[in-house]
Chain A
């Protein structure tokens, strides 16, 4: 009895709040969601050796190695809708093909198992409760909270690196509003921006080629009650040619290999390594094993280029470059130092 009473009171209060002033969500977390998805796509697709911002030529198999980083920075029960936003987008990117191994989902608080949740282990983003965002397909491996604030660097206005497409739910000075209040759960369950984003994505599947410009055009400022803003000055390609699944989806390619798989073995000084080399000319991403000699050559080349002609120290170091085993040299140096200490101490008694 008591629980229902307090529940009703909370509902009334929330409803009044909902009536007078639709819940404002902080611009930051909406930014952070989409910003990170977009940025991370470009980060993780870059070449391992050096050059970043590769723009691949063929568009059909480009989105094979997408990562998604979804971050929710809002704690406490009344920020239920932020959690629901994040989980909705998690479900969307999973549905469009990005596997769990390439999704990093960070939630600041636990809504599903919150004591105030009337539906334990269930998180909804609509008051019709049709979709449980915490259902069977969700993989949560444990949360950690060491009381840290995520740094405030997610303001996309301060991004300078190339190859980034950023989108925000509202302009500076505006508020992002929640969409509707679920009178059963007692709090707003989704934000307007996310609601319309999901409405767009629910019509897609992973093979769809709807472009980014159609996503941005689907945002209606009067429905959102804010101006969704996107920043394209750092992103070279034109938006009507880029499919949304480049960012939000992923298609796995399997390659048949005839040779047996060999793990790395340690024998003496040579260590074979597993190194991810993205070869720009091959159409598909491949993981190759290269052994230590190649790595030594590469690093030797790099260091030689760097050291040449700076100071006499570098010429000495170049000579020492020829000596392969650095460790024994350092050990000898330590032994020499300690013996010198003992000798000089003995002499100065």
Chain B
């Protein structure tokens, strides 16, 4: 009980901290930092797009706004409302704080779901459950107190809404709520293209259920739940298995998957109809697809960010841009199938891996993406307890977060540096993410091996 109270105290404190930063008297100017606001997520560009729409021009004119027209209809009027004496875009910032809070609660609920499944599977395998931390609470707190999340929330970026939709998808899928998962998936794919790869973990979640140890561990089945005479059971490593009772393996249920696909279809049709109504005077759906998803895929804007694509495409000859665009995007797609094959028993962790990979290789990354996957990392804190290089990664993230604005300042404002200074921090950031994904997947597979060893030990 005391722990629960402490949890809520910390949650409230984080929300108050965000409000404090919003009402900070000095202008923090976070909305103009390239790490926080990208051409896709900047609220200033959304305000500009809304103004263009109000002036009866296409919101995509002038290559300023590249987001969804639905976001324009919801957030646009809020950017215009100004209350005297309050900071600018106050209502939008409050909305983002609420979005962060809801995301944290959904992460917590997902964590509780996963933990329940974990305990059940450990009990089924008759593995002694050691001290298990409450992963959901820890993950929610990590998400709320991560400085990167705070900066994204306060920094006039629409990333909190995208993160909310992705977490909504995962929560819906873990709880087998097909309409909710479908809604989250469709909207998150509509807002930024990359969550489309989450369809695979979502279908696995909806079909199989939450994360569990590999299915073949359950097949070894030298445990009966009816307390047989131990001498009858064999303790061999798996060659001869004499079982009285086969434990039910998790079957793949097709019905929830079909429900999910059905609802996804309904929501996507609805979204496309709304978008075409919204843009009927300015070119319709094709214009929207060209300017949003086309913009993401063709990487038209080469202004610096914490990614690696801008520097590369600034140097590539025009003749080769198509080729290299394909290479970069296929890089993400290539990783999907092998990971899905290897981690199909842990779909939630698979989703985390996909989110990490796509946020590393996407066209316009920002710290909002890293806020999301660092929060989701907390969900697996029990399984990833033995991860190597955790301290190095922690220090690396802090170092990059501090150095990147400094290098940007040196380059753009003082002129004593050049683009290489800033890009070096970008490369370091990408390296850290690579190490994180490799080590976390390795640690998870190690954990599965430990479970297998423990489950086949003689009692």
Binding site for B on A (CB under 8 A): 146-149, 151-153, 271, 273, 292, 295-296, 299, 303, 313, 317, 320-321, 326-327, 329-331, 333-334, 337, 340-341, 344-345, 348-349
Contact = CB atoms under 8 A, between A and B. Distances in A.
Contact of B180 (A333, A337, A345): A345
A146 B270 CA distance: 41
A149 B318 CA distance: 11
B180 A303 contact: no
Contacts of A146: 302-304, 412, 419
A273 B56 contact: yes
Given A147-B419, A326-B278, A344 B318 contact: no
B272 to A, nearest CB: 10
Contacts of B69: 330
B317 interface: yes
A153 B318 CA distance: 9
Interface in B63-115: 69-70, 73-74
Looking at chain A's contact residues, the main secondary structure is helix
B263 interface: yes
Given A152-B318, A330-B277, 20 more contacts: A147-B418, A148-B314, A271-B54, A292-B56, A295-B56, A299-B56, A317-B280, A326-B277, A327-B73, A330-B70, A333-B274, A333-B277, A337-B270, A337-B271, A341-B183, A344-B179, A345-B179, A345-B180, A348-B178, A348-B259
B56 A271 contact: yes
Nearest to A110: B415
Contacts of A149: 314-315
Contacts of A331: 73-74
19 contacts: A147-B314, A147-B418, A148-B302, A271-B54, A273-B56, A299-B56, A317-B276, A317-B277, A317-B280, A320-B280, A330-B73, A330-B274, A330-B277, A333-B274, A337-B267, A341-B180, A344-B263, A345-B177, A348-B177
Contacts of A295: 56
Given A273-B56, A337-B267, A151 B318 contact: yes
Contacts of B302: 146, 148
Nearest to B422: A147
Nearest to B74: A334
Most buried by B among A299, A303, A320, A333: A333
A92 B178 CA distance: 69
B281 interface: yes
A126 to B, nearest CB: 30
Contact of A329 (B267, B277, B281): B277
B55 interface: yes
B273 interface: yes
Looking at chain B's contact residues, the main secondary structure is helix
B350 to A, nearest CB: 24
Contacts of B74: 331, 334
A110 to B, nearest CB: 10
B277 A334 contact: no
A349 B274 contact: no
A287 to B, nearest CB: 17
A320 B180 contact: no
Interface of B: 54-56, 69-70, 73-74, 172, 177-180, 183, 259, 263, 267, 270-271, 273-274, 276-278, 280-281, 302-304, 311, 314-315, 317-318, 412, 418-419
A312 to B, nearest CB: 13
A146 B412 CA distance: 8
B343 to A, nearest CB: 27
Given A330-B274, A333-B277, A334-B73, A271 B55 contact: yes
Contacts of A333: 270, 273-274, 277
A303 B276 CA distance: 13
A195 B259 CA distance: 75
Given A330-B278, A334-B73, A152 B317 contact: yes
B24 to A, nearest CB: 29
A48 to B, nearest CB: 13
B179 A341 contact: yes
A303 B273 CA distance: 17
Contacts of B317: 152
A186 B334 CA distance: 55
Most buried by B among A273, A303, A341: A341
A340 B267 CA distance: 10
A349 B281 contact: no
Contacts of B315: 149
A67 to B, nearest CB: 18
A152 B304 CA distance: 21
B125 to A, nearest CB: 29
Nearest to A347: B179
B177 A349 contact: yes
Contacts of A313: 276
A303 to B, nearest CB: 6
A326 B177 contact: no
Contacts of B281: 299, 303, 326
Contacts of A334: 70, 73-74, 274
A330 B270 CA distance: 11
A76 to B, nearest CB: 13
Most buried by A among B180, B271, B311: B180
A326 B180 CA distance: 27
B178 A296 contact: no
Nearest to B273: A333
A348 B277 contact: no
B422 to A, nearest CB: 9
A274 to B, nearest CB: 10
A326 B275 CA distance: 11
